[in-house]
Amino acid sequence: MSTTVIKSKEKLRQKNETVEKLKNDLVERDDRIRQLEEALERELEARDRSKDEEIQRAVDEATQMLVKELYKKDDEYKDRIVEVLESTERAAERDRADRVQLHRTILSLEAELAESRDAANGLTVKASNERTRKHEAPPEDVISIEEHNKMEEDLKAQIAALEEQIMMEEGFREQVASLERQLVETNTPSECWF
C-alpha cells in the first residue's frame, strides 16, 4: 500500500472521528433541549394553576367585599376592597415578570436550536468537500472501489441522519412557537370587573 493511500485513509479516519464527535454533540444538545422543553412545560402548568387559583381568590374576596359594601357602606370594607385591588395588581405584575422570564427561556431554546443546526450544516459541508476531494484525487491516490463506495455510503448515511435530526428540530421549533402562542393567549391580564 502506497504512502499516499495510507495518508488518505488516516485523513478519512480523522474526519470520521470529527463526524462522530459532532453527532455526539448533537445528541447532547437534543437532550438539553428536551430537558428545557420539559422544564418549560412544568413551569407553564404550575404558573397557570397558581394564576387561576390566585385570580379566583381575588374575585371571591372582592365579591364578598362588594356585597357587604352595598349593605353597610363601612370604611373598613372600603379599605379591604382597596387592599384586594392592590393584591390583584401585584399578582398581575408578577405574572408579567413570569412572562418575561418564559420569553427569555424560549429565546435560549431557539439559540440552542440554531447552534445545533449550524453544527449539522458544517458537517454537511465537510462531507461534501470530502466527496469532491475524493473525485478529484490523482490516480495514484485512488483507493479500491469497494473502500471508496463504503466510505461514500457511510457519509451519505451520516448526512441522512443529520437531516432527520434537523427535521426533528424544526418540529420542536414549531412546538416552541405553539407554546409561546399559548403563553400569550393564556396570560393576557384580565381586567377586573369591579
The secondary structure of the chain as a DSSP string is: --HHHHHHHHHHHHHHHHHHHHHHHHHHHHHHHHHHHHHHHHHHHHHHHHHHHHHHHHHHHHHHHHHHHHHH--HHHHHHHHHHHHHHHHHHHHHHHHHHHHHHHHHHHHHHHHHHHHHHHHHHHHHHHHHHHHHH--GGG---HHHHHHHHHHHHHHHHHHHHHHHHHHHHHHHHHHHHHHHHHHTSPPPP--
pLDDT value of position 1: 54
Highest average pLDDT, of 22-31, 47-56, 145-154, comes from 22-31
pLDDT tens track for 48-67: 777 778 888 888 888 887 77
Topology of the domain covering 3-44+96-186:
Methane Monooxygenase Hydroxylase; Chain G, domain 1 (1.20.58)
For the stretch 85-107, pLDDT in tens is: 777 777 777 777 776 776 676 67
